[in-house]
Structure 1
């Protein structure tokens, strides 16, 4: 049906296109009739109009309607910050009192909607969703009960697709205060041996975010990897900073904690945590080769293939003072810079490798002293030995160096075929754990017998003889490879083996890469659960002290899941920042957002969501009265220009919406009426055209 004004609708006998053609044809015929004879043309036009009315079928439509109540929405913020200082109780009291007052007005229905979040509050989004789900012609008002802190407050100025007033009811106390610490400059990455600058600011805030200056400079505690480094007073409102030394690769966890302010809302924003990952700009490796052998190329190829490695390689075959008539074109073109490498610039290297090197008088006792000092101060040395490790020219016989070696030679090289094996300890150590295809490794043909003094044996040769020993000396590390036949794996002899992966792991462990540390602690989120993982080469792992986001500490027992890995799963933990400690190990983990906006700013305010109320004519009210709520008075308002809020009252727009119950259609006139009009008009036209009415008048 096609609707017309005044509740008249048409029920035509013809399709719409045919009806339009009929109207056009009828209008044309009527115009021609008027031009030909205007008297009879009027009669014919009336007949055409009646015919078209008969075809169009005009109907009178009568509808029965029922008035509908207006709707007032009450949105209650149940976010985490609403749990502070009894705000949730005030919110519930305000919602109940509002609902009662709205019911007392009559003609208004209430709908209460609860929303919130553990990490952030999206109040503007909640209002928009509620408005979109409510019939526009019935929405009278929106009441938003909240502390005023919203992560999407910047969207409040964009307005809503409604002309109903939005009223903001804040639940905070008038005398509330809070202290927070904010990281201003917080770099997440740095370069090893290059300090990074971290800056922060302490703020004391009062009602509506007003800055408070009534407190003395609070104490700030600086911790690195769980260890307290510094405690110092820092002025409120001023930016302060410090340099973080990055002495090793991996993650350094910085914690800043400011002392609690008396009466503040929460201490969760008194702590700032910053994990800084230190990476090496380039891994600098010094490779010193002695007697040429097939494995020399293996080390060089491995190190050169890594784009993160800067390799300096020298081969020393003879003493610098030897004069045996060797042709000049067979000698080095430049003298070996032993003083520059082993005195001036040794500390610039991350790893020093001696590959089948034997003492030939090139390095002095002072150089070996400096190498030992280099290791003790945090450097790394790897000795890949062959037959030269035994005898008077062995590095083990250099008194200045031998004390850092984990094993000393115990005889000449053993020449026999054997398959390298990972020891029981090596199966737990990240350097040798899970090396691929361990059951089908190729054979090696030589091993150096030693007397082990220290260190961890990760691989063994024939009859359990040590093959790979790793050790820690002071702050540094030492590795001892007791065979020069790793190149057999590189050539695929007897099936080969994972030479590249093994050598890479050894080199990276020596250079303290975090993923290869045998003792490590980590926290991570997995499907909403918190996973505590402890990596250790020991048979058992001690319990982990876990600190929850609320500051409570509990002991977590671990169980071994794979060799060297102990884990615990905490199901559905509260969201926030967790700290774990086990001995000297320290780790942090986050469930949800690391620095949740929900607790960054907790002071109640109406200014952030104020534009939402201003745009719609609503008001902003502080409803807290002690531990109860005192919401504004309510009024019904009419008209678009009428005020919708005042200092102590909030308006609900009167919509007067209706629901149609029944609809009745009746013909405007019966078909016989239109036929009678058509006949009468045609008769009149016939009479006028024939002059019959004129002759009768003359005769009379």
Structure 2
């Protein structure tokens, strides 16, 4: 063999494809089999054996020539595999290696300094690579690792670090022969729950032994809210239970008071008595949210002296409070077609909980005790007293206030006004006992209605085709069809109303908007309002100054138009009154309900034009507001073609923040909430996990040790089994004269013997 080559192997130089060579091999076998069968009558076995052997030799030599075998001479060298030393640099390594001891990072650095010479001797067998991990995995200088790496990383991902080290050697030929990992084992990624079947399979799939040194024994004194179990949303006025898992290490016999706050206000409390030997407690906190919206809640435990981490003593979460059903109070003065259709619509809606009353009194009735005029007395004090705030909307339908002046209800009308100012919704629907006909201009309700009732007037009985105002063309209450042109056409085709209460539009600045007016019915030289809305303080009010909206359903259906317009009008009106979030022209949504410490809060702000199309080019802003009402971060952006804009705000620290978005000019606002955690995954649990480190070593065939007190384990490594081919040369062995001579001799010998022995 040429001394330049140190290995060889057989190869084939034939230009024929493998499948063709396989077919030729089968043909050779068939030729031998036919020869054997043709000699089955030969009585002398020796002759039969000689002839078959010659046939087999001929077939083998022919196949040998067709395959064209050769010797491939190789120049090979074994590749040095790698060995990875991975050092944990996450924040949990700042905790003491044992109660009262040095930081874990310092203990790991001292261990590496003591055994640096032993690790250096590995260079005789493998290439030693050093890495630090704490979220990202990056090469590190061995001297820096021996001094102790700064524990600043925000994540411990042991499996991810091993994967990254295995992939960092420049290809499959540079695989790891093994690894040594120094960590406290406080994994908060794939191995946070320990080793299961899937994670063991992933560790074995690494293909190399992992040797471990667990840094830390015993957990320092710490009290933490470990987790909160609560739904993402709740129903207003329904009981919500938050299950808080309290973890206590290093405590015994202390009393702990857990407090649940909503944006600074205490909503629930619970008492826990800590016991020696028990480190986890499940504590239920129960409350009933009293208003809808998105809020940040915080569960907090007291901070005791000597705790390792105080940031994990509280944890916040975002809860969206919605209505399970819209609770509506309908008070009607007398049966009518409008009352019948409206009650039917509300009763058929599964999302509406309707409570309705008929007060069968008129302006001609003399004042007197309710009990003398009613079979079932109207529960005025209950409905307009303590129960009023339980309703999402109150509807007065052709209800005369006049006959009640001076009676018990007179004391409760201010409650209705306060209900609206504090966020309630009130709708007044017309008729001969409503607005000025019902003398509401003299009541506290005049302060919140979107029109001014003209007391002493009577309704105008005339056919009126409702007309959209400029504001009504783009308001969701009067949006019966998509697009301004289609919406105008739907309103123009509706049957006229037959009566209008005389009212006056409020002066600009009162927050009232007329959406429909009544051409031909004038008040002070202007068309009388037919539908008007108002934003007053925190509440909303609606005025419909006719009791003939039923015609938009019944008469329209009779003429073939259907009742869709009637249904859409009242559904839209109710959704607007109760502030359905889908109808807000400006909306803001955080990327996630909670953010990690130091991470920005990503927000998506959606803006729509008055016609509810995307507000492309609109300038929007958003701010974070703390519990004490201070704006702590603010940003601006311009909406894109889809009406959305991205804003990122950096909170000053952990806590609960209200998100307030503003449209151009500040007239439109939207709110959300976000919680910034006080402790990230690295600070949530200060306990080391030496048992996880030992399990990793066992699963991969490595060896384990632990600090303090442990020594460098006898490192398990795999020998290099991959060779590198530098040069190669093929030497044919088929093109020799003796190969052809042997084939010719075998064929000639078989032919001669067959003739001599009588076979043809």
Decide: shared fold, TM above 0.5.
Answer: yes
1:166: Cα distance to partner? Answer: 1.4
Matched, 1:255 2:298: yes
2:511 to 456, 476, 499: 456
* SS of equivalent to 1:611: helix
2:243 to 195, 199, 202: 199
Q: Residues 221 and 251 of structure 2 are in contact (CA less than 8 Å); yes or no, is this contact kept in structure 1?
A: no
Choose between structure 1 and 2 for higher RCO, CA contacts under 8 A separated by at least 6 residues: 1
Distance in structure 2 (CA, Å) of the matches to 1:94 and 1:181: 33
Aligned residues: 635
1:518: Cα distance to partner? Answer: 11
* SS of equivalent to 1:307: coil
2:541 to 455, 479, 485: 479
Q: Residues 122 and 151 of structure 1 are in contact (CA less than 8 Å); yes or no, is this contact kept in structure 2?
A: yes
Matched, 1:385 2:463: no
Distance in structure 1 (CA, Å) of the matches to 2:738 and 2:206: 50
Residues 638-680 of structure 1 show CA distances to partners (whole Å, capped at 9, x for unaligned) of xxxxxxxxxx332222234322334444455764324555676
Q: Residue 125 of structure 2 corresponds to which residue in structure 1?
A: 107
2:673 to 588, 595, 608: 588
Gap regions ≥5 residues in structure 1: 1-5, 205-210, 324-334, 634-647, 693-700
Distance in structure 2 (CA, Å) of the matches to 1:77 and 1:486: 76
What are the equivalent positions in structure 2 for 1:471-510 lying under 5 Å apart? Answer: 479=541, 481=543, 483-484=545-546, 487=549, 503-504=570-571, 506-508=573-575, 510=577
1:658 to 723, 733, 745: 723
1:273: Cα distance to partner? Answer: 1.9
Q: Residues 217 and 235 of structure 1 are in contact (CA less than 8 Å); yes or no, is this contact kept in structure 2?
A: yes
Matched, 1:141 2:160: no
1:293: Cα distance to partner? Answer: 6.6
Residues 604-626 of structure 1 show CA distances to partners (whole Å, capped at 9, x for unaligned) of 3232354332122213445689x
Distance in structure 1 (CA, Å) of the matches to 2:49 and 2:73: 33
Q: Residue 56 of structure 1 corresponds to which residue in structure 2?
A: 63
Q: Residues 69 and 138 of structure 1 are in contact (CA less than 8 Å); yes or no, is this contact kept in structure 2?
A: no
The more displaced of 259-268 and 565-574 is 565-574
Distance in structure 1 (CA, Å) of the matches to 2:755 and 2:705: 86
- What's the TM-score, normalizing by structure 1? 0.68
What are the equivalent positions in structure 2 for 1:210-609 lying under 5 Å apart? Answer: 211-213=249-251, 216-217=254-255, 220-228=258-266, 234-236=272-274, 237-260=280-303, 266-290=309-333, 295-296=338-339, 299-300=342-343, 302-304=345-347, 306-313=349-356, 339=377, 341-343=379-381, 347=387, 349-359=391-401, 361=403, 365-370=407-412, 372-373=414-415, 376=418, 380-386=425-431, 388-389=433-434, 393-396=438-441, 409-410=453-454, 412=457, 419=467, 421=469, 446=500, 448-450=502-504, 456-459=511-514, 463=526, 468=532, 470=534, 479=541, 481=543, 483-484=545-546, 487=549, 503-504=570-571, 506-508=573-575, 510-511=577-578, 523-524=590-591, 530-531=602-603, 544-546=623-625, 555-557=632-634, 569-570=647-648, 579-580=657-658, 587-589=672-674, 600-601=684-685, 603-609=687-693
Residues 1:17 and 1:408: Cα distance change in structure 2 (over 3 Å): closer
1:274: Cα distance to partner? Answer: 3.0
What are the equivalent positions in structure 2 for 1:10-21 lying under 5 Å apart? Answer: 15-21=21-27
Q: Residues 441 and 454 of structure 2 are in contact (CA less than 8 Å); yes or no, is this contact kept in structure 1?
A: no
Residues 471-524 of structure 1 show CA distances to partners (whole Å, capped at 9, x for unaligned) of 669xx957351622783876789x999876664455345546566789998645
- What's the TM-score, normalizing by structure 2? 0.64
Distance in structure 2 (CA, Å) of the matches to 1:616 and 1:662: 36
Residues 1:320 and 1:336: Cα distance change in structure 2 (over 3 Å): farther
The more displaced of 368-377 and 567-576 is 567-576
Q: Residues 365 and 400 of structure 1 are in contact (CA less than 8 Å); yes or no, is this contact kept in structure 2?
A: no
Q: Residues 296 and 657 of structure 2 are in contact (CA less than 8 Å); yes or no, is this contact kept in structure 1?
A: no
Gap regions ≥5 residues in structure 2: 1-7, 97-102, 137-152, 275-279, 367-372, 518-522, 594-599, 608-618, 662-668
Q: Residues 294 and 321 of structure 2 are in contact (CA less than 8 Å); yes or no, is this contact kept in structure 1?
A: yes
Residues 100-137 of structure 1 show CA distances to partners (whole Å, capped at 9, x for unaligned) of 93674323134567683799755435645765896489
1:141: Cα distance to partner? Answer: 0.8
Distance in structure 1 (CA, Å) of the matches to 2:61 and 2:592: 77
* SS of equivalent to 1:652: coil
Q: Residues 422 and 458 of structure 1 are in contact (CA less than 8 Å); yes or no, is this contact kept in structure 2?
A: no
Q: Residues 432 and 458 of structure 1 are in contact (CA less than 8 Å); yes or no, is this contact kept in structure 2?
A: no
Matched, 1:614 2:698: yes
Residues 145-199 of structure 1 show CA distances to partners (whole Å, capped at 9, x for unaligned) of 5442143224433352355211234556876554320345424443332322223
1:26: Cα distance to partner? Answer: 2.9
Residues 225-252 of structure 1 show CA distances to partners (whole Å, capped at 9, x for unaligned) of 3335578875454433332122223334
